[in-house]
Amino acid sequence: MVISTNDIKNGTVLNLDGQLWTVIWFQHHKPGKGNTVVRTKLKHVLSGKTVDRTFNSDTKIESAEVDRREMQYLYQDGDSFIFMDVTSFDQLPIPTEVVGDAKDFMLENQNATVALNEGNPLYIDLPASVELKVEYTEPGLQGDRSTGGTKPATLETGREIQVPLFITTGETVKVDTRNGDYLGRVSDK
């Protein structure tokens, strides 16, 4: 689909030279003399790299349709992660390189948003935080239970994060899916 640069909005996905870019910021700018231009900040859909790009006003550019669907992670099968569309129940294998670091925070039967372009998966979007059980961590020493230090803990997905010294094996913790930071202890319900 071809659109004018005047139709650009935040979140629009552009197909520039075969690469998909998301508009994260734009501004129409009229210099003192000359034609109006559209300044943009673009984020590469796959790598996350951001660039600044300026277009002449009313230039025609190709936009890409990105379909974001709610899917449920079922299981891992070799080099693929199998997801199921929660509305159509169709199963979709997604390669490990597309799933990326999201695999460290996914449990079976957990929902995630999968972005697709022409049926091809682009990336997995997880909630900002997830609750995971601590599979193993060294016991804290007496006197270490106040503020301060951290220790490594292995989560049920195999990811290792830093947790406060008072966390023990078997506890459930809240983890930031963007960077793997410990956010807090989850009390048993």
> Are residues 33 and 75 both part of a single domain?
no
Give me the pLDDT at residue 189, please: 54
Residue 188 forms part of a structural domain: no
Same domain, 68 and 41: no
Q: Look at residue 103 and give its three-state secondary structure.
A: helix
Segment 64-104, tens digit of pLDDT: 988 989 999 999 999 999 999 999 999 999 999 889 889 99
Q: What is the CA radius of gyration of the chain?
A: 22
pLDDT value, residue 188: 66
Flag whether 189 is in a domain. Answer: no
Do 4 and 56 have their domain in common?
yes
CATH number, domain of 166, equals: 2.40.50.140
Same domain, 91 and 118: yes
Last residue of a domain, one of 36, 60, 84: 60
Q: Based on the domain organization, do 116 and 143 belong to the same domain?
A: no
Q: Are residues 48 and 9 in the same domain?
A: yes
The token pair at 77 is: 């099968």
Q: How many domains does the chain divide into?
A: 3
Query: How many angstroms separate the CA atoms of 25 and 10, rounded?
Result: 6
Q: Within this chain, do residues 132 and 116 fall inside the same structural domain, yes or no?
A: no
If residue 96 lies in a helix (H) or strand (E), which one and from where to where?
Answer: helix 96-99
Give pLDDT tens digits for 14-42.
999 889 998 989 998 888 888 889 999 99
Does residue 142 surpass a pLDDT of 70? no
Q: Is residue 29 part of a domain?
A: yes
Residue 94 within a domain:
yes
Q: Which of 144, 145, 142, 137 is nearest to 169 (CA)?
A: 137
- The per-residue pLDDT of the chain, averaged, comes to 89
Please state which of the ranges 49-53, 55-59, 134-138 shows the lowest mean pLDDT: 55-59
Q: Does residue 69 share a domain with residue 51?
A: no
Q: Which amino acid is at 13?
A: V
User: The domain containing residue 30 runs over which residues?
Assistant: 1-60
pLDDT score for 143: 57
- Inform me whether the pLDDT recorded for 145 exceeds 70: no
Q: Are residues 151 and 170 in the same domain?
A: yes
CATH code of the domain containing 5 = 2.30.30.30
Residues 76 and 21 in one domain: no
Overall size of the chain counted in residues: 189
Q: Residue 46's pLDDT band (boundaries 50, 70, 90)?
A: confident
pTM (predicted TM-score): 0.75
